[in-house]
Structure 1
């Protein structure tokens, strides 16, 4: 049996380098790598880039975390989710090569993904950072084709630092000597750190607001850079924050030499569950046929702002939140932007999650953030109580990707 490192998260590359060496250095045999870091928007941006590349016929590997319903969602081989037997065999191989040494769960699964990617032909490898960047297990590729840093905000302070500049420094750790880096919208202090790191390494930057811009104009997405202007449909992923994610994805595709058709596919064909996802069918949705049911996994203050901005643009409808959060998050910071857009918040625990906040604690934090709030035992109970009062309500289940994963599992 493998020995996991006693800490769930311990940011260092020592154990990963040791295991990759034992596996014959698969990280040196990957298809061209696009490496993404950032606090918010990594997954959506990655999904858009993949849609754009695949529309042109490219075969794309992709690694993302965390999973929602099943672990194998994290690894996509040349477009398809890895099969369970193949994943089990890879993990067995990595456990054997690790020889009983301590290693974290994320580290060994990242090594398994890199091993799989090294063995199956593809045109690109999309690697999403798990946490931070500089010391993240994915940061082992010496010469990626491209790096991307999506918006950086305050999150995971216990691992990445207390200030925006410190956190940006960790994210900027994926920048490599001479490798172009696409930079999404940033706060000035974060951008200054990213620019300084890129200057030291001679890495060309492609920065939002300097080298490219993106905006919504008359119901269309308008992207502009030195190569011209693109007039495209709005992203199929809902919410105004997806405009900036689409901009970063299009900038990346342009740097990879892709055309307007790829940019259009990026914004119209991307699929990314639990990001303002409408739940139209399944046991949960069927239990509230008159309600409008949504699911979002955002969990930090920037995520709360993104959800609030999305709700603000929806047609008027009484909105209730069903919210479960982890005890490691800035709960009031997440909820504060939502207070103006919800009639009530229903706090729930996250089933099977040791770090869940009790429903009563989440309820109290919501009240402190200016929301009317009640506690409930589960999502199903909260939904039943909402539709008993307001059968036609808009209901958003939110606050955690772990809660979102449980909901997707239960809702089929």
Structure 2
């Protein structure tokens, strides 16, 4: 175990709740640390329900293609916590992370603070102490009261598609959730808005108007669309023809459009747009696994093995649309989900693209949905569904039963992280 892992495990007990949306504790800790959030390289702050990670990865690819050094803060991590904090392009080294966490733990002095608040402060401290040209800051949950929403003067804010998720924290309706996401908008800072449902867009535009925020919205100031084997992006500066994004799925064309609009807002052009579309890397988003023990199990019977971390109804729709674009092949799912999610809403779109499902519980995750519950919900939306003890058993069973098939492990980023760790 890394030293940082021991510190992270220890600080988990500093607040009785995993999630407690408030900025009071965050501002207190940051003030004690000398307010590092006020000394960051120019910040691009990204909120939204779906597509945040993919959009961040594309913006990063575009900026780095121009020789820019880019800090990146994302969550959750998949295999290792260090993935959350990239310093000028590289994962934070273990010694730097453990030193900063030790410093923050000492300054905090045992006072209540959530895990995400403390680790966000660690990201700010690391970013403030290392030179870079830009900081890409991904919201953890919501926006208005998220721990990242302490940057007073971002260079740009970005809102990716808003849909129903985390209703216990953000509200029951699309308008309520959009209002929370729109909480990242800052007076005078331009905002790029991805394609939205009308109810969400109306709320975002109303807040932008009250703050005097210049808005660049999909369908108004810019457009992105598939064209032949590629895609096009158009704004007031002209039209760019490009290949399809290297991240798979039709939804990635919208994410690419959001990333390109963001790059244009920062003053970049066609070369950076092309890099955003062709060079982005983002694991567990319709990722075909190419090596490791699970791949070896699947390959014994000629099966492909894929991985996706989408977990809400919009994520299920995106996966279904991606599967529809891939070469036709029988598809079977290995699925594990958290008990906070809309399981039926997630699985329903997939029932038209996959023939069967084996449910698993997510190992080591307190909020896992029992495999039996996932199986029952899957059966209720039309799947031939069963359960398996673990992912390896499920892959072995499905590959033996359906030689040459496509197997997709899905349902949760936490499950995806387990797979990436255990599959090497």
- Give the alignment's TM-score, normalised by structure 2: 0.96
Number of corresponding residues: 412
The CA deviation at 1:185 is 0.6
Aligned with residue 203 of structure 1, among 213, 236, 239 = 213
1:298 maps to what in 2? Answer: 310
Q: Deviations over 1:91-124 (max 9, x none)?
A: 1111111122100000000000000000000000
- Taking the aligned partners of 1:318 and 1:285, their CA distance within structure 2 comes to 17
Residue 131, structure 1, aligned to residue 131, structure 2: no
Residue 184 of structure 2 is aligned to residue 171 of structure 1: no
Match for residue 117 of structure 1?
127
Q: Which residue in 2 is equivalent to 1:241?
A: 251
**What is the alpha-carbon distance in structure 2 between the residues aligned to residue 188 and residue 335 of structure 1?**
25
After TM superposition, give the deviation of residue 369 of structure 1 in Å: 1.3
Partner of 1:308: 320
Report the secondary structure of 2:310's partner residue: coil
Residue aligning to 2:17: 7
Secondary structure of the equivalent of 1:273? Answer: coil
1:142 matched to 2:152? The reply is yes
Tell me the secondary structure at the aligned position of residue 14 of structure 2.
coil
Root-mean-square deviation (CA, aligned residues, Å) is 0.7
What secondary structure sits across from 1:197 in the alignment? helix
Distance in 1 (alpha carbons) for counterparts of 2:304 and 2:399? 10
In 2: Cα distance, 1:394 partner to 1:221 partner: 27
Q: What displacement does 1:167 show? A: 0.1
Any idea what the Cα deviations from partners look like across 1:258-309, whole Å, max 9, x if unmatched? 1211000000000000000010111110112111110000000000000000
Question: Counterpart of 1:280?
Answer: 290
Runs of 4+ more than 2 Å apart: none
What is the aligned counterpart of 2:407 among 392, 395, 399?
395
> What residue is the counterpart of 1:72 in the other structure?
82
Shift of 1:221: 1.1
Q: Which residue of 1 aligns with 2:340?
A: 328
**Displacement of 1:73 after TM fit?**
0.4
* Separation (CA, whole Å) in 1 of partners of 2:292 and 2:44: 35
Residue aligned with 2:298, SS: coil
Indicate the residue corresponding to 2:384 in structure 1: 372
1:263 is matched with 273
CA-to-aligned-CA distance 1:176-221 (integer Å, 9 cap, x gap)? 0011000001010100000000000000000000000000101111
SS at match of 1:271: coil
In structure 1, what is the equivalent of residue 33 of structure 2?
23
SS of structure 1 residue aligned to 2:369: coil
Task: Give the distance between the partners of 2:88 and 2:61, measured in 1 at CA.
Answer: 12
For 2:353 and 2:206, locate their aligned partners in 1 and report how far apart those are by CA, in whole Å. Answer: 39
Structure 1 window deviating more from structure 2 (371-380 vs 240-249): it is: 371-380
Per-residue deviation, residues 26-82 of structure 1 (Å, max 9, x unmatched): 001000000000000000000000000000000000000000000000000000000
User: How far, CA to CA, are the matches of 1:157 and 1:90 in structure 2?
Assistant: 33
Instruction: Tell me the distance in 1 between the aligned counterparts of 2:392 and 2:203.
Output: 45
Unaligned stretches of 5+ in structure 1? Answer: none
Q: Secondary structure at the match of 1:50?
A: helix
The structure 2 residue matched to 1:47, chosen from 50, 57, 64, is 57
1:84 is displaced (CA, Å) by 1.1
| SS of corresponding position for 1:250 | helix
Q: Could you tell me how far 1:389 is from its partner in structure 2?
A: 1.2
SS in structure 2 opposite 1:192?
helix
Q: Tell me the equivalent position of 1:353.
A: 365
Q: Aligned equivalents of 2:196 and 2:231: distance in 1? A: 20
Structure 2: runs of 5 or more not aligned = 1-9
Out of 91-100 and 268-277, give the one that drifted further.
Answer: 91-100
Structure 1 length as normaliser, TM-score? 0.99
Identify the residue that residue 189 of structure 1 maps to in structure 2.
Answer: 199
Structure 2 CA distance, aligned partners of 1:288 and 1:244? 32
Q: Distance in 1 between matches of 2:367 and 2:373?
A: 13
